[in-house]
Structure 1
Amino acid sequence: IKQLVIEGLYDLYSYDIKFDNEPNVQIVTGPNGFGKTTILQIINHFCSRQFWYFYFLPFSTIKIQFDSNVSFCLNRKVNRTSISGVLIDATVHIEMNKDGNRIEIADLDVVYISNLLKYYGIQPNEDFDYSRIDEKLDWKYLYQNDTFVMNNYPKILDFLEGRECIMIKEQRLVNYLRTTDDKLPVKTVDDIQKYIEEFFLIAQKAYNLMSLKVDGSFVKRLSNLAENKTIKHIKRDVIHKQVLDKIAKFKKYGLVGELEIVEKLGIHYEEVLKLYLKDLDNKLSTLSPFYARLSTFDQLVSSKGLSYKHLAFKDGKMYVISESGHEIPPHNLSSGEQNLLVLCYKLVFGLSNSKILLIDEPENSLHMAWLDKLLEDYLQTAKVTGCQMIIATHSPTFIHGRWNLTYDLCENGEIQEFKRNG
């Protein structure tokens, strides 16, 4: 995203936020009630193709400028304040432009919203908490099931493919979308264990597939060894060191068990040994992407320092171990420690080069010593991954003197005079 212009937010605020390419991290500051979280929600819902959100958001115009000279303009007009005292009758006009030319256009109206609510079993009435309709749709909505959006916004959907956001919300310690057997919401930090294990199983599957591939063709390649110039021109010691280095690193995180490596054969079998070692190196390489993420996650958490605890990993699973050697369930950690794990996990495992990371109040429950280092972690990650980060915060400690990265809503926004009726 290159620029975000918002006019008439809550009928009060107008902002013009420009995002620089370097270092690709923007920090939004401002007093409570000025819309820091809402700005993140606007970006998140649009990039996630949840266009219904803008029907319920009070604003007049939103313009989003992307790279490639692609821009979007959303206009909202209220026709009647309510229907049956509950649902506002409004129209949201969404337009896509490229190089100044209109590419796609369509309107969302009250009929669309009414049908959408009915589809998801949301029946507003006079007793319904209207202010929480957006929360209910956030939980249930899938744009792939929305025939109106699929039929009317194909080019917008195509452009947004790969530009999805990851939003780390202020209230991030409980996953209200998932419940335990006793109907209690799951602590987000407990999900981290499950998700890391899922990533490990994917890596193990890749390892097993590579093993089948190289083992199945070993005899054939062995018979054609004289033609295998790639192996022939590599010194055995070089391959051997590569293999041993990977095994040592992977063992630390329990990604591999004991591996017996044939180190010496007669001189006549030198090329056979190199082929064997090269095959083993290829197998182990399938674990490298997962190892890179896992070790980075461990490093980020360990550099902050859990109180008399440390992370341990075995068979792709994460454990929190006390100084006395006892395992501690992650949900028994302090709120600050849980926040740290969630933030670091999202930073490492949630990103790809095509995504935008939105973080709401990263300072929540974190010690000031951790906050001092947190922004540097984000800056480094943004540089390495190419991911764009937009952060809403109150904390000068988190900003750590990097005021050049900030956009203050109070200082830079335009605030309309509030006019009372009568």
Structure 2
Amino acid sequence: MQIIKVYVGGLFGIFNHEIPVNLNDRITIIHGPNGFGKTVILKLLNGLFNCQYSELRNLPFETFKVEFDDGNYLEIDKKTGRQDQSNTIRFNFSKNSETFILDKSQINDIDEISISDLDYLIPELMRVGPQRWRYLPTEEMLSISDIVDRFPDLLRGIKCEQQPEWLQDLQRQINVRLIESQRLLNIASNYERRIAYKRLSDLSTVSVYSRELAQKMQHKFTEYGTISQSLDRTFPLRVVQQQPSTYLTDEQLYDKLDHLDKMRSRLMEVGLLNQDESSEVDIHPPSIDETTKNILSVYVEDMDKKLSVFDDIADKIDLFRKIINKKFAYSYKNIGFSKDQGFIFTSSYKSSLSEYKQVLNHELCPTDLSSGEQHELILIYELLFKVKPDSLVLIDEPELSLHVGWQVEFIKDLQEITKLAKLNIVMATHSPDIIQDRWDLTVELQGPK
């Protein structure tokens, strides 16, 4: 199921906006003057489908309607009607005429079991009273409402359990992810934070994602090893059982071997294979007799199965590398990859001090990247590696972290990403440099008529 249209009425008590979602091009750009509600629309979508109902409570609108490609719709009604309904939010789902009424005064409530678990869920909180906590990193005093608003992702499961099954099922079918513009710091895992004596451990998001990618690469390499062992174990038997009618022609075998060479080279370039791990692919006999043809026919089939394990992650790393290195080239930086480290950043430039203009290379730390470079890397990584296929991704004003040269290329980069990762993008922007000549992707927010 996919979202095809969004409508918000009574926004700020003034605006009524309708946004059709462009599923063909997979990119929808919302633009309009400041104060017309671009960011609010993204927050409403994120709040609704990620169970962050404090957004629905706090944002100023009367009705919010989402239409789906199966002909159904979900409408949120916050209009104050009768006196006894002034504090409620009504969810109306057209399928089976389902209705759910949420009391706005209860949106921030957490049951007693959840309260007892807060120390585990959020180790930086110290309980100082029946309904009061101190947040150690900032020494702020927080209430239950403050905690729910500040840590919606950690408490999402608690809140979602309080709603009807039909709404939970709808939220499971519609994956929505908000990509925030300021994501340079990342909170370490609960375990790491607890070890740090309840002190906040701020890690560079780039460093966290580097470790995460290394783990993904190692996982794929383990899968590759498992498949290799299974195929190698039965290889002799399958060679013996191979029928001459199934042999490939000499030309087909050479083509297959060349293809395997290209696959191996590509996997080495993106750090998924090392030279010693891929050397077995390099087989090019000068001539092929029947016995060799028998063996190679099974061999190339096996190698294709082994290496195809990497196809998806290799495609993503390859595109990630292409986009990032194109942008980093101006500052003489480069990104590479390895199963052990994840990202490997290097700086390469010609020394003006050397008579021969020697090219100097040295490795960089993630923190050596500029804030703009980190923002761009984080955004592209999240789109390629952290969002499920067919998700709706919300991006708010990406130009805030992009210089003009990068803005010009942004839509082209998104088009490549959405095609590979199968994502739909709804983006709010002021920047004509981002839009370029793609005004066909835009929806303009207008004032009341």
Structure 2 equivalent of residue 196 of structure 1: 213
- Matching of residue 279 in structure 1 with residue 281 in structure 2: no
What does the per-residue CA deviation read over 1:133-156, in whole Å, with 9 as the maximum and x for residues that have no partner? 55324242233774322xx1x223
Structure 1 equivalent of residue 441 of structure 2: 405
> Aligned letter for 2:411?
L
Q: Using the aligned pairs only, state the percent identity.
A: 26
Q: Is the 8 A contact 2:347 2:362 kept in 1?
A: yes
How many pairs align?
Answer: 400
- C-alpha separation between the residues in 2 aligned to 1:55 and 1:383? 35
- Matching of residue 225 in structure 1 with residue 227 in structure 2: no
- Matching of residue 372 in structure 1 with residue 369 in structure 2: no
- Matching of residue 321 in structure 1 with residue 335 in structure 2: no
For the aligned residue pairs, the C-alpha RMSD in angstroms reads 3.2
Superposed displacement of residue 110, structure 1: 4.7
Q: Is the 8 A contact 2:76 2:89 kept in 1?
A: yes
What does the per-residue CA deviation read over 1:253-306, in whole Å, with 9 as the maximum and x for residues that have no partner? 221122234544764232012212321221111112111100000001122234
Structure 1 equivalent of residue 90 of structure 2: 93
Q: Is the 8 A contact 1:90 1:110 kept in 2?
A: yes
Counterparts of residues 139-178 of structure 1 (less than 5 Å): 139-143=153-157, 146-149=160-163, 152=164, 154-176=165-187
Q: 1:124 to 1:391 in 2, by over 3 A?
A: farther
Structure 2 equivalent of residue 418 of structure 1: none
Structure 2 equivalent of residue 414 of structure 1: 448
Q: Is the 8 A contact 2:114 2:158 kept in 1?
A: no
What does the per-residue CA deviation read over 1:91-142, in whole Å, with 9 as the maximum and x for residues that have no partner? 11111114xx52x2211115643543766548479x8579855532424223
Q: Is the 8 A contact 1:310 1:320 kept in 2?
A: yes
> Aligned letter for 2:25?
P
Q: 1:285 to 1:234 in 2, by over 3 A?
A: farther
Range moving further from structure 2, 45-54 or 173-182 = 173-182
Q: Is the 8 A contact 1:60 1:75 kept in 2?
A: yes
Q: 1:303 to 1:262 in 2, by over 3 A?
A: closer
- C-alpha separation between the residues in 1 aligned to 2:428 and 2:143? 27
> Aligned letter for 1:308?
Y
- In the superposition, the TM-score normalised over structure 1's length comes to 0.84
Structure 2 equivalent of residue 60 of structure 1: 62
> Aligned letter for 2:180?
K
Q: 1:174 to 1:267 in 2, by over 3 A?
A: same
- C-alpha separation between the residues in 2 aligned to 1:48 and 1:166? 8
What does the per-residue CA deviation read over 1:6-47, in whole Å, with 9 as the maximum and x for residues that have no partner? 122343433222223332311122333432222111112222
Range moving further from structure 2, 320-329 or 128-137 = 128-137
Superposed displacement of residue 176, structure 1: 4.7
> Aligned letter for 1:97?
S
- C-alpha separation between the residues in 2 aligned to 1:114 and 1:41? 17
Q: Is the 8 A contact 2:30 2:426 kept in 1?
A: yes
Q: 1:111 to 1:35 in 2, by over 3 A?
A: closer
- C-alpha separation between the residues in 2 aligned to 1:41 and 1:72? 16
Structure 1 equivalent of residue 333 of structure 2: 309
> Aligned letter for 2:99?
I
Counterparts of residues 45-84 of structure 1 (less than 5 Å): 45-51=47-53, 53-77=55-79
Superposed displacement of residue 192, structure 1: 2.0
Structure 1 equivalent of residue 376 of structure 2: 340
Range moving further from structure 2, 29-38 or 116-125 = 116-125
Superposed displacement of residue 309, structure 1: 0.9
Superposed displacement of residue 173, structure 1: 1.9
Q: Is the 8 A contact 2:160 2:168 kept in 1?
A: no
Partner residue of 1:212 out of 208, 226, 229 = 229
Q: Is the 8 A contact 1:166 1:350 kept in 2?
A: no
- Matching of residue 253 in structure 1 with residue 255 in structure 2: no
- C-alpha separation between the residues in 2 aligned to 1:208 and 1:111? 55
- Matching of residue 289 in structure 1 with residue 320 in structure 2: no
- C-alpha separation between the residues in 2 aligned to 1:363 and 1:61? 30
Q: Is the 8 A contact 1:231 1:275 kept in 2?
A: no
Q: 1:225 to 1:144 in 2, by over 3 A?
A: farther
Structure 1 equivalent of residue 352 of structure 2: none
- C-alpha separation between the residues in 1 aligned to 2:266 and 2:53? 45
> Aligned letter for 2:272?
L
- C-alpha separation between the residues in 2 aligned to 1:251 and 1:299? 15
- C-alpha separation between the residues in 1 aligned to 2:419 and 2:143? 43
Which sections of structure 1, spanning at least 5 residues, go unmatched? 82-87, 416-422
- C-alpha separation between the residues in 2 aligned to 1:128 and 1:320? 40
Q: 1:129 to 1:35 in 2, by over 3 A?
A: farther
> Aligned letter for 1:358?
L
Range moving further from structure 2, 389-398 or 116-125 = 116-125
- C-alpha separation between the residues in 2 aligned to 1:398 and 1:131? 38
Superposed displacement of residue 375, structure 1: 1.2
